[in-house]
């Protein structure tokens, strides 16, 4: 007995000694946002020390399809995956390399891509979630166009997160980047701190832009307007600024609808994105523009950009300058390879303080679209920058079907290294899914977006028309919530500071954590009251607010 208790006290002592290590190992794994976009002479160390990969699992030699054998993968676990990749073929300088996964049950065509080069290492970051567990799976790398190219991989890593761990990591990031600690001090004019003062704090404005597309259907529709204003602080016109809407016939420019929509915006303290100046998809250009070429097109393009931007200078927070340029090239085909560069330069001269955005689909939604990989987006941005474009932002449309959340986060990580404004600009979930599935996946995407430290705003693509919405409506025609609307309402409630009521302590102070935004404070002590306002902007230190009573 005695020996046993001695052993137990030794064990307790030992555990205490080792407690930092034990705490760390029992704690959730911290998600690692690290990403690289430069090709490096040597690969960096693997994230998470390789995670659950054993060194012997890694192939030693370059092959046309290096592969890892993975055992005992579990369903619904979020697997974050990364690797350094290099081309070893003498006849090829670069290739798009795709990582894919085959389990006993399913094939995942793309769990990550990288624009790999010969002579240096490039960083691939992606991930996956399985629908069914798999005791044996093959993760392999191939050139995406099927060419035989020797590929070397190094510093490969696979880190699993349970749903709870993933969720707690999101919550940690939300606390860190969307909230801040506030300390309110109350004293009187003699400099005495006042204890027991009743404090009431209300958040009256949210900083994080969260909104939706609107359509001209909102004009004159008071129910739609108040529904919108109660929820959102950001908007974008679904179609009403597009060239085909403002100039359906040559020379017949008409901004009546856009002007009326802007009046609604201005009257309600909403920020608006300017969408879009040009659209590279030929079929969305006015028919008469599709018929133009050479100097005629040049002149039409100049007239469009001058007219639009002189009228709306300083009204829109962003301009989508050249919509969907990774997939289409209407203007480059007709005006030469620098057409987009020219648009950006003209837009910048016309509205120097607006942020000029690229806006693209299938960069974030999937990695299976070879036209719009994260690396091709980045290299297009760098190209424009080299051409002299001075301000730019990253627009990610976000038209999802079933989202791959670890991949989505990995892509945001990679784009985040550019340190540019980055927004989700057109979020919805495909109408091929049930309303319930749309709601479920919408919540996943919105949480992922709001908790990502590099994301600056979120727009839904849910403009309401009598016959429905593009892919997903939040409500029916009478503004009764559909499942997706319930999700949005519940997140809007979660991402705002609830009314705070309390009393100052013996130091005359009271503290709380609040979402970034604007606040009204009232304090009351006996029959004395005072009111104040303050703004809570991003910052790592506690915001101190002093009120005199
Ligand atoms: C996978 O799980 C099975 C059953 O639990 C176990 O026998 C096997 O050793 C595991 N394999 C690996 C590589 O961990
Ligand atoms: C401009 O558009 C508005 C709204 O559609 C329309 O009422 C008006 O007649 C148009 N103006 C011209 C000059 O075509
Ligand atoms: C475009 O060109 C086609 C073929 O020349 C012609 O039939 C059509 O009327 C033109 N459309 C417009 C809107 O100018
Ligand atoms: C993607 O790129 C390929 C090859 O450049 C092209 O043929 C195809 O039309 C593009 N697809 C889309 C949707 O842009
Ligand atoms: C495009 O712009 C770049 C950078 O300004 C310039 O070097 C190049 O000559 C231009 N190309 C054409 C075809 O005008
Ligand atoms: C502070 O606001 C409250 C509630 O709005 C009001 O009743 C009170 O008179 C205000 N006090 C001062 C000093 O303005």
> What does the pLDDT look like over 170-179, one tens digit per residue?
999 999 999 9
- Least Cα distance to 274 among 191, 395, 449 occurs for 395
161-212: pLDDT as tens digits: 999 999 999 999 999 999 999 999 999 999 999 999 999 999 999 999 999 9
- Ligand 5 midpoint to CA 314 (Å): 29
Peptide bond into 276 cis (omega under 30): yes
Ligand nearest to the CA of 292: 3
Closest C-alpha residue for ligand 2 atom 10: 254
- Residue 302 has, within 13 A of its CA and on its CB side, a CA count of 7
Is there a contact between 243 and 292 (Cβ–Cβ < 8 Å)? no
Q: Which of 173, 159, 148 is nearest to 126 (CA)?
A: 159
Q: Which atom of ligand 5 is nearest to the CA of 386?
A: 4
Q: Is a pLDDT exceeding 70 seen at residue 90?
A: yes
What's the gap in Å between 145 CA and the centre of ligand 4?
13
pLDDT, tens digit (0-9, with 9 covering 90-100), for 491-534? 999 999 999 999 999 999 999 999 999 999 999 999 999 999 99
| Residue listed under structure tokens 């910052």 | 539
547 C-alpha to ligand 6 centroid (Å)? 14
Q: Which two tokens stand for residue 193?
A: 């701190």
Q: What is the mean pLDDT of residues 104-130?
A: 97
The structure tokens listed for 412 are 């945001």
State pLDDT tens for residues 449-476: 999 999 999 999 999 999 999 999 999 9
465-489: buried (b, 16+ CB within 10 Å) or exposed (e) per residue? Answer: eeeebbbbbbbeeeeebbbbbebbe
Instruction: Kindly identify the ligand whose nearest atom is closest to the C-alpha of 341.
Output: 5
Phi, psi at 470, each rounded to 5°: -55, -60
Distance 135 CA to ligand 1 centre (A): 8
Residue pLDDT, tens place only, 46-71 = 999 999 998 777 776 778 889 999 99
Please tell me the residue having the least CA distance from ligand 6 atom 12: 530
Residue to probe by mutation, ligand 3, list 250, 287, 293, 300, most atoms within 8 Å of CB: 287
What CATH homologous superfamily does 47-161 map to? Galactose-binding domain-like (2.60.120.260)
Cβ 71 under 6 angstroms from ligand 1? yes
Convert the pLDDT of each residue in 238-285 to its tens digit.
999 999 999 999 999 999 999 999 999 999 999 999 999 999 999 999
Q: pTM of the entire structure?
A: 0.92
Nearest CA to ligand 5 atom 7: 387
Question: How high is the pLDDT of residue 294?
Answer: 92
Neighbours of 164 (CB within 10 A): 9
Distance 287 CA to ligand 3 centre (A): 7
Return the pLDDT at 20.
Answer: 35
Task: Evaluate if residue 123 carries a pLDDT over 70.
Answer: yes
In tens, the pLDDT along 355-400 reads 999 999 999 999 999 999 999 999 999 999 999 887 789 999 999 9
Cα gap 60→164, rounded to integer Å: 35
Q: What CA–CA distance (Å, rounded) separates 260 from 153?
A: 56
pLDDT: which is higher, 25 or 547: 547
Domain coordinates in residue numbering, the chain: 47-161, 165-205+518-549, 208-369+381-388+398-405+427-494
Percentage with pLDDT > 90 across the chain: 88
- Ligand showing the shortest atom-to-Cα distance for residue 327: 4
Candidate from 135, 136, 138, 160 with most ligand 1 atoms within 8 A of CB, to mutate? 135
Ligand 2 pocket, residues with Cβ under 6 angstroms:
254, 256-257
Q: What is the pLDDT of residue 375?
A: 98
Nearest atom within ligand 4 for CA of residue 328: 14
Domain 165-205+518-549: give its CATH code: 2.60.40
Supply the pLDDT for residue 58: 72
Residue 426 clears pLDDT 70, i.e. is over it: yes
373: helix, strand or coil: coil
Q: Please say whether the beta carbons of 246 and 262 come within 8 A.
A: no
Summary mean pLDDT of the chain: 93
Q: What is the pLDDT of residue 64?
A: 84
> What is the per-residue pLDDT for 268?
97
Q: How far is CA 199 from the centre of its chain?
A: 36
Domain 208-369+381-388+398-405+427-494 superfamily per CATH: Glycosidases (3.20.20.80)
Query: Above 90 in pLDDT, residue 3?
Result: no
From CA 308, how far away is CA 354, in angstroms rounded?
13
Tens digit of each residue's pLDDT (9 = 90 or more) over 525-542: 999 999 999 999 999 899
Please give the C-alpha separations between residue 30 and each of 36, 67, 168, 247, in angstroms, as whole numbers: 18, 27, 9, 52
């Amino acid at each position: 007995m005695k020996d046993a208790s001695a052993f137990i006290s030794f064990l307790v002592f030992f555990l205490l000694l080792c407690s930092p290590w034990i705490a760390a190992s029992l704690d959730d794994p911290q998600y690692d946002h690290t990403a690289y976009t430069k090709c490096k002479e040597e690969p960096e160390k693997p994230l998470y020390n390789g995670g659950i990969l054993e060194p012997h699992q890694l192939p030693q030699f370059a092959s046309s399809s290096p592969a890892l054998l993975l055992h005992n993968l579990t369903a619904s676990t979020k697997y974050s995956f990364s690797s350094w990749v290099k081309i070893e073929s003498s006849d090829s300088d670069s290739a798009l390399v795709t990582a894919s996964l085959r389990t006993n049950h399913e094939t995942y065509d793309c769990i990550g891509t990288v624009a790999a080069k010969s002579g240096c290492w490039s960083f691939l970051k992606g991930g996956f979630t399985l629908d069914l567990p798999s005791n044996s799976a093959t993760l392999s790398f191939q050139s995406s166009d099927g060419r035989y190219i020797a590929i070397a991989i190094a510093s490969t890593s696979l880190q699993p997160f349970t749903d709870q761990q993933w969720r707690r990591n999101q919550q940690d990031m939300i606390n860190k980047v969307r909230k801040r600690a506030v300390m309110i001090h109350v004293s009187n004019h003699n400099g005495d701190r006042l204890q027991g003062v009743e404090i009431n704090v209300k958040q009256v404005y949210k900083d994080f832009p969260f909104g939706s597309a609107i359509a001209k259907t909102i004009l004159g529709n008071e129910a739609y307007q108040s529904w919108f204003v109660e929820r959102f602080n950001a908007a974008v016109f679904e179609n009403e600024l597009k060239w085909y809407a403002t100039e359906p016939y040559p020379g017949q420019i008409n901004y009546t609808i856009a002007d009326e929509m802007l009046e609604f915006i201005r009257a309600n303290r909403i920020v608006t994105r300017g969408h879009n100046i040009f659209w590279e998809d030929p079929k969305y250009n006015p028919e008469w523009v599709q018929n133009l070429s050479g100097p005629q097109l040049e002149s039409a393009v100049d007239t469009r950009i001058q007219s639009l931007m002189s009228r709306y200078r300083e009204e829109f927070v962003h301009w989508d300058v050249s919509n969907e340029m990774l997939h289409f090239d209407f203007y480059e085909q007709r005006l030469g390879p620098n057409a987009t560069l020219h648009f950006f330069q003209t837009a910048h001269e016309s509205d120097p303080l607006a942020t000029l955005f690229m806006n693209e689909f299938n960069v974030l939604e999937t990695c299976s679209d070879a036209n719009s990989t994260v690396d091709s987006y980045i290299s297009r941005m760098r190209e424009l920058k080299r051409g002299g474009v001075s301000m730019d932002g990253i627009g990610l449309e976000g038209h999802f079907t079933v989202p791959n959340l670890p991949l989505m986060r990995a892509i945001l990580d990679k784009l985040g290294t550019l340190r540019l404004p980055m927004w989700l600009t057109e979020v919805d979930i495909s109408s091929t899914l049930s309303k319930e599935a749309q709601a479920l996946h919408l919540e996943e995407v919105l949480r992922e977006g709001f908790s990502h430290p590099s994301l600056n705003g979120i727009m839904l693509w849910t403009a309401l028309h009598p016959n429905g919405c593009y892919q997903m409506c939040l409500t029916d025609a009478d503004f009764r919530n559909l499942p997706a609307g319930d999700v949005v309402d519940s997140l809007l409630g979660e991402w705002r500071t609830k009314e705070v009521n309390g009393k100052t302590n013996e130091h005359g102070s009271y503290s709380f954590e609040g979402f970034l935004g604007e606040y009204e404070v009232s304090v009351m002590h006996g029959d004395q009251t005072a009111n104040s306002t303050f703004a809570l902007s991003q910052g790592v230190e506690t915001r101190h607010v002093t009120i005199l009573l």
